[in-house]
Amino acid sequence: MRRKSHKLQVLETLSTRKKLDPEQQALLQKLQRGIIGERNMDLLVESILGAEVDCLDDIILEYQGNVVQIDKLLIIGSIIYLIDMKFYRGHYIFKNGEWYLGEKILANNNFEQLRRAVRIIQNVLYDHQIPLKVQGVLAFMNPESSLTVEDSLKETVLNFADIPTWLLQLKQNTSNKQLQDWKSAIRNYEIAPYRTKKIFPLEKMDTLQKGICCPNCHQFNMNENRHTVSCPCGYTEAKVIAFIRTICEYGVIFHNQNLTRSQLRIFFGQDLNERYLEYLLEKYFERLDSPNSRSGYKNEGIIFDYWFAEKKDYFERLAERKNWKNANISK
Ligand SMILES: [Zn+2]
Q: What is the DSSP letter of 329?
A: S
Ligand 1 center–CA 235 separation, angstroms:
5
Ligand 1 center–CA 29 separation, angstroms:
23
Ligand 1 center–CA 177 separation, angstroms:
51
Mean local confidence (pLDDT), 32-44 = 94
Instruction: Say what percent of the chain tops pLDDT 90.
Output: 79
Ligand 1 center–CA 213 separation, angstroms:
8
Dihedral sign (CA 284, 286, 291, 292):
negative
79 forms bridges with which residues in the sheet?
76, 133
CATH architecture of 6-191: 3-Layer(aba) Sandwich (3.40)
Ligand 1 center–CA 242 separation, angstroms:
12
Ligand 1 center–CA 209 separation, angstroms:
15
CA gap 173, 286 in Å, rounded: 49
Ligand 1 center–CA 3 separation, angstroms:
25
N residues, the chain: 331
The more confidently predicted of residues 236 and 53 is 236
146-149 vs 223-224, strand pairing mode: unpaired
Ligand 1 center–CA 137 separation, angstroms:
42
Tens digits of residue pLDDT in 119-177: 999 999 999 999 999 999 999 999 999 999 998 899 999 999 999 999 999 988 776 66
Ligand 1 center–CA 330 separation, angstroms:
18
Tens digits of residue pLDDT in 202-231: 999 999 999 999 999 999 999 999 899 999
Read off the pLDDT band of 41 (50, 70, 90).
very high
Q: What is the pLDDT of residue 19?
A: 96
Where are the chain's structural domains? 6-191, 202-323
69 forms bridges with which residues in the sheet?
60
User: Which stretches of the chain are assigned E, i.e. beta strand?
Assistant: 55-63, 66-76, 79-86, 91-95, 98-101, 104-105, 133-140, 146-149, 156-158, 190-191, 223-224, 228-230, 236-238
Ligand 1 center–CA 250 separation, angstroms:
19
Ligand 1 center–CA 225 separation, angstroms:
15
Q: What global pTM score does this model have? A: 0.88
Ligand 1 center–CA 17 separation, angstroms:
14
41 forms bridges with which residues in the sheet?
none
Asked if 202 and 253 count as a contact pair (C-beta separation under 8 A), the reply is no
Ligand 1 center–CA 73 separation, angstroms:
39
